[in-house]
Amino acid sequence: MRALQLIEDRRLETVDIAEPGAPGQGEVTLRIRAVALNHIDVWGWRGMAFAKRKMPITVGAEASGEVIRVGPGVSNLREGQLVSIYGARTCGLCKACREKRDNLCEHVSGVHGFHLDGFAQEKMNLPARLLVPAPPGVDEIGAAVAPVTFGTVEHMLFDNAKLQPGETILIHAGGSGIGSAAIQLARRMGCTIITTVGSDAKIEKAKALGADHVINYRDDRFEGVVRKLTKKKGVDVVFEHVGADTWARSMLCMKRGGRLVTCGSTSGVSTSMNLMQLFQQQLKILGSFGCRMENMADAMQKMAAGHVSPVIDTEVDFDGIDTALQRMEGRDVFGKIILRVS
């Protein structure tokens, strides 16, 4: 069967690998349907100095699959069922896992597609406890974007930033996968949404998703526009994932007591910070990584009810992966790129 593997930095190849054997205790065999691409795939592809990794590694951190074989001891899944796959291999036993705070697992063995083999392969065996059934009305693409895209945003906005109805939020990069999800989820809360985009072509698309104000950050300094729009008060919440390029100015966008939640740093990981501003303005900075499995279930329920829907830029097959990653690196996308596996 086919798998898409990173052989060395910037070199991905489709290879033949052995089919998985019979599923073990508590496992099922999945036919992987769709993989959604994320910035973690771009980092992996272009090489990360800080991550020690085995090569070759099968890529793909976010995916959906169909159950094709059920192993012993699995009672909650059946053949033919569509599932969304949790992106990290947690232990299932520690205090955090038992309390369903999955992304705080004390013995996590890594993130699929980055530290461990990922989901860009036709079939694989996985523990049933790391699979979330897709409800009726959610297809293989909806289930594929639930773990990293929608799950991460659910966890950021609701578990961490505790976004309240009617609040004002600045969402960076409204054309990105998580940005487009955040706009829809905040819209549903009745929030006032200010978002940034990098090209005029993305302005109308961001408005169509529910943004009230869209700033082209290449033309205007977003912090000035935010202060003007909020009558110098600032926003309640900043949704960060850009990092070095925006951090200091994002800090200036918050009202006193405001919250900044971040899950990424696509423009760089290092920055400096004015500590007096932090404590005098009583700002709250919240780091967020991944999600709880309940966040995936919540996101898919909202998809099934028609409240949110994945924004898809393009679908590609294994041969289209290089072009897809180059476009993501160049920010030339609106929404998600989906890799069709089978």
User: Minimal distance in Å, beta carbon 294 to Zn ion?
Assistant: 15
The residue among 252, 38, 271, 268 whose CA lies nearest residue 153 is: 38
Contact status: 91 vs Zn ion (CB under 5 A): yes
> Applying CB under 5 A, which of residues 29, 38, 90, 103 lies at the interface with Zn ion?
90
Burial degree of 278 (CB within 10 A; 0-12, 13-18, 19+):
middle
Which one of 100-108, 136-144, 235-243, 310-318 is the stretch in contact with Zn ion (CB under 5 A)?
100-108
Contact status: 293 vs Zn ion (CB under 5 A): no
In sequence order, what DSSP letters do the residues of 186-210 get, joined into one string? HHHTT-EEEEEESSGGGHHHHHHHT
Amino acid at 293: M
Which one of 104-112, 152-160, 203-211, 288-296 is the stretch in contact with Zn ion (CB under 5 A)?
104-112
> Do the Cβ atoms of 183 and 161 come closer than 8 Å?
no
Q: Contacts with Zn ion: how many residues (CB under 5 A)?
A: 5
Question: Tokens at residue 103, please?
Answer: 């992304």
Which one of 82-90, 200-208, 266-274, 307-315 is the stretch in contact with Zn ion (CB under 5 A)?
82-90
Contact status: 104 vs Zn ion (CB under 5 A): no
Burial degree of 208 (CB within 10 A; 0-12, 13-18, 19+):
exposed
| Separation of alpha carbons 253 and 271, rounded Å | 16
Contact status: 146 vs Zn ion (CB under 5 A): no
> Do the Cβ atoms of 249 and 227 come closer than 8 Å?
no
User: Minimal distance in Å, beta carbon 102 to Zn ion?
Assistant: 8
Q: Which is nearer to Zn ion, 129 or 340 (CB)?
A: 129
Q: Which is nearer to Zn ion, 90 or 250 (CB)?
A: 90
User: Minimal distance in Å, beta carbon 85 to Zn ion?
Assistant: 17
Which one of 91-99, 135-143, 150-158, 315-323 is the stretch in contact with Zn ion (CB under 5 A)?
91-99
> Do the Cβ atoms of 230 and 170 come closer than 8 Å?
no
| Separation of alpha carbons 36 and 312, rounded Å | 10
Contact status: 67 vs Zn ion (CB under 5 A): no
> Do the Cβ atoms of 203 and 174 come closer than 8 Å?
no
Q: Which is nearer to Zn ion, 106 or 200 (CB)?
A: 106
Give the 3-state secondary structure of residue 45.
Answer: helix
Contact status: 254 vs Zn ion (CB under 5 A): no
User: Minimal distance in Å, beta carbon 340 to Zn ion?
Assistant: 32
Whose structure tokens read 């549903």? 188
Which one of 69-77, 89-97, 240-248, 303-311 is the stretch in contact with Zn ion (CB under 5 A)?
89-97
- Report the DSSP beta bridge partners of residue 29: 69, 125
> Applying CB under 5 A, which of residues 34, 40, 85, 97 lies at the interface with Zn ion?
97
Contact status: 94 vs Zn ion (CB under 5 A): yes
Residues that bind Zn ion (CB under 5 A): 90-91, 94, 97, 105
